[in-house]
Amino acid sequence: MDEVIQVTQWLSSITPRKKAKLFFFTTHADAPSPMVGSNDVDTHEETQLPLATTVALHNFKNIDEFLKKKVNTFSCYNVIENEITKTDYEYLRFYSACKYLDVVPPFLDLEKISAIQNKFEMTDEERDYRLLLDSADLVLEKVCDSLKPAGVSQMWTALRKDRNLIRGVKTIDIIGFFVDPNPTGIKECLFFFIVRFLQKADKINRVNTNRLERLIAQCDESSSCEEGKTIDFIIDSLRFYPTELYPFGFCLIMCVIEGRDGAMQEIEKTMEISRHLGMITHTEKNPTKETIELVKKELMKPKYQFYSSFTCWFMSHGDSNSMVLADGETIEREWFLTSFPDLSTFQLKPKVFFMVSCRGANKFSLKGDEFEGQSATCDYYDIGSALIRNRMLDITDSVRDISYVQPMMDTLVAYSTILDHLSGRANTHGSIYVDRACVLMSENISRGRSLTEILEHLSQDLHEILQETMDEDRIVYKQACHYDSFFRKTLKLPYTRHPKEDVHSAPQ
């Protein structure tokens, strides 16, 4: 059959809503870098004009033409070995979006997709199409689905009132002030236009969504929300780190085995919980400084920009400032923690570090006969809200910026013990902190808990456990863990994942 006819038949089989979503997912706001052929050409026409004309004319002609152009480009594309191009990235995005929406063209060359995945050095686990979908876009899709046409229309009206933001933007004028979003697919096109416009204007990104939340907050709840949804529910969905679908993220496990009883148990437990959470996991036993540098170099590869989060378990002996590596050398803990968050591949994504080692030799010792042999191994100020409001600054958009980000932002560091103190372990099971952390995370999957809630529970649980030193003094003591957070959103534990088979129903 002629290819033109095949493309026409394929487009005619896709509903308007799915066409709008396919366009949105395919014109993703951020692309991996570095890559060949990725210049700084303004993509305003490509990403916003088709949406604007579709909304204005109630006609999907321009989106159809965009999708035809993509298909024709991929059909003629020859995969070049050893260098990653912009088209490689676009091809993977297009395929994953089609797969997610259940509209894969029957004529799409899957061998080319496999060849591109080879260039990205993707493992079998990483070839799951869900890895290629952007979690932030999936969250925005759900926000759109939660709003009625009237709600999106109200967002548009609120946006049009911001004269400073829309001044001189031609696509805004194409749509006009008053919009009828009721025809099938038009609501989606208008919402996705608003999102891409705010992204291009540097008003929102995958972490900073305040500007979008403010537009939604101006909607009338009774007329703007789909059944069972509320304005608060929709806004709350934007206040979590986007980690939709599989995989939840990439997990790096580094464990010094030499001289650490139970270290293999630590590895088994952290691997098990990471996989249970839906992470793709890599383990480094007995790491050295050279190993760490090689891992950092590996994590700079373009494929890691597809991941939604990064988690690292580092388990070794240590003191107040440093950690002992497998070859007896030490590294500064601060150096380790500041070098990984700076990786561009995980920028604007949650990064969690579990640092499991002693940070000194001090112990919170328990004295008294009742503790012998019993070992398993503030003020409130009422400040009126009116007084607070009267003292608040008026922070305008002109003094806000989301372009520049401190490297440590979106990072959480969890320590197994407090500064200058021991981190306890059992002879056969390894770190007690690791054991309890894995148990609590496993128990709270599917309960909607955030990571910080789990860590607070872990702090309580661990501090109840009586531990005993292994020297001749046999001192009974307690261990206190804590964490430092630079998070800007909440990181929720995922629901149970199905890495080998996606059980979600296709979006409408």
Q: What is the 3-state secondary structure (H, E, C) of 48-110?
A: HHHHHHHHHHCCCHHHHHHHHHHHHHHHHCCCCCCCCEHHHHHHHHHHHHHHHHCCCCCCCCH
Q: In degrees rounded to 5, what are phi and psi of residue 413? A: -115, 115
Residues 147 and 197 in one domain: yes
Q: Say if 375 falls within a structural domain.
A: no
Last-in-domain residue among 239, 267, 285: 239
Residues 144 and 265 in one domain: no
Q: Say if 370 falls within a structural domain.
A: no
* 3 state SS of 276: helix
**Residue 112: is it exposed, middle or buried by C-beta count within 10 angstroms (0-12/13-18/19+)?**
middle
User: In this structure, what token pair is assigned to residue 463?
Assistant: 């501090």
Residues 190 and 297 in one domain: no
**Residue 470: is it exposed, middle or buried by C-beta count within 10 angstroms (0-12/13-18/19+)?**
middle
Residues 302 and 437 in one domain: yes
User: In this structure, what token pair is assigned to residue 439?
Assistant: 């148990």
Give the DSSP H/E element, type plus range, for residue 482. strand 482-485
Residue 474 CA from chain centroid, whole number: 45
Predicted TM-score (pTM) of the model is 0.84
**Of 176, 297, 162, 152, residue with least CA distance to 234:** 152
Dump pLDDT digits (tens) for 412-450: 999 999 888 888 888 778 899 999 999 998 888 777 789
Domain with 291 in it:
249-364+405-486
Q: Say if 279 falls within a structural domain.
A: yes
Q: Under 8 Å CB-to-CB from 104, ≥6 apart: which residues? A: 95, 98
* 3 state SS of 77: coil
Residues 228 and 288 in one domain: no
Give the DSSP H/E element, type plus range, for residue 292. helix 289-298
Residues 227 and 310 in one domain: no
* 3 state SS of 421: strand
Residues 144 and 152: beta-carbon distance below 8 Å: yes
Task: Report CA-CA distances (Å) from 323 to 21, 176, 223, 258, 421.
Answer: 48, 61, 58, 13, 14
Residues 255 and 227 in one domain: no
Residue type, 336: F
Half-sphere exposure of 280 (CA within 13 A, CB side): 22
pLDDT in the model for residue 372: 54
Residues 228 and 275 in one domain: no
Residues 231 and 316 in one domain: no
Residues 24 and 153 in one domain: yes
- Interior CA angle at 329 toward 323 and 330, to 5°? 25
**Token match 């929102």: residue?**
204
Q: What CATH number does the domain containing 474 carry?
A: 3.40.50.1460
Integer Cα distance of 196 and 199 in angstroms:
5
Q: Say if 390 falls within a structural domain.
A: no
Task: Report CA-CA distances (Å) from 361 to 75, 423, 462.
Answer: 65, 9, 18
User: In this structure, what token pair is assigned to residue 290?
Assistant: 């050279």
Q: Where are the beta strands (DSSP E) in 126-278?
A: 249-255
Q: How many domains does the chain have?
A: 2
pLDDT tens, residue order, the chain (508 aa): 678 889 999 999 999 999 999 999 998 755 444 344 444 444 556 789 999 999 999 999 999 999 999 999 998 899 887 789 989 999 999 999 999 999 999 988 999 999 999 999 999 999 999 999 999 999 999 999 999 999 999 999 999 998 888 888 888 989 988 899 999 999 999 999 999 999 999 999 999 999 999 999 999 999 999 999 999 999 999 999 998 778 889 999 999 998 898 899 999 999 999 988 889 999 999 999 999 999 999 999 999 999 999 999 999 999 989 999 999 999 999 999 988 877 889 999 999 999 999 988 886 666 655 555 555 443 333 434 444 445 455 677 777 888 888 888 999 999 999 888 888 888 778 899 999 999 998 888 777 789 999 999 999 889 888 888 777 778 888 899 999 999 999 998 876 554 444 434 444 5
Q: Under 8 Å CB-to-CB from 132, ≥6 apart: which residues? A: 92, 93, 95, 96, 306
Last-in-domain residue among 239, 263, 295: 239
Q: Say if 499 falls within a structural domain.
A: no
Integer Cα distance of 26 and 23 in angstroms:
5
Integer Cα distance of 74 and 116 in angstroms:
12
* 3 state SS of 431: strand
* 3 state SS of 201: coil
Residues 261 and 213 in one domain: no
Residues 219 and 153: beta-carbon distance below 8 Å: no
Integer Cα distance of 331 and 333 in angstroms:
6
Integer Cα distance of 168 and 309 in angstroms:
37
Q: Say if 33 falls within a structural domain.
A: no
Residues 212 and 276 in one domain: no
As a dihedral over the C-alpha atoms of residue 288, residue 289, residue 293, residue 298, rounded to 10 degrees, the angle is 10
Q: Say if 384 falls within a structural domain.
A: no
Last-in-domain residue among 208, 239, 270: 239
Q: Say if 77 falls within a structural domain.
A: yes
* 3 state SS of 145: helix
Of all residues in the chain, what percent carry a pLDDT higher than 70? 87
